């Protein structure tokens, strides 16, 4: 794919995801369950934990 094709595809994907989240009346969990393949699904809690620990530290530094 060309850079322009990638940009267009990612933009359309993000727009579709946002539209689904805000216009479907589904819960965030139900929207995420629409994703048929979750290649990192078994690592989801580890990834969330890493984000939380790193983002909380960054947030504290920004607030100081």
pLDDT tens digits, one per residue of 3-50: 999 999 999 999 998 999 899 999 988 988 888 877 888 898 998 898
Question: Which range marks the domain in which residue 44 is found?
Answer: 3-63
Count of structural domains, the chain: 1
Whether pTM > 0.75 for this model: the answer is no
Residues 6+ apart with CB under 8 A from 51: none
Give the integer Cα–Cα distance in Å for 44 and 38.
9
């Amino acid at each position: 794919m060309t850079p322009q094709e990638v940009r267009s595809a990612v933009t359309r994907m993000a727009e579709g995801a946002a539209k689904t989240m805000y216009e479907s009346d589904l819960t965030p969990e139900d929207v995420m369950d629409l994703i048929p393949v979750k290649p990192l699904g078994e690592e989801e809690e580890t990834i969330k934990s890493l984000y939380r620990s790193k983002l909380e530290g960054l947030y504290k530094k920004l607030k100081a």
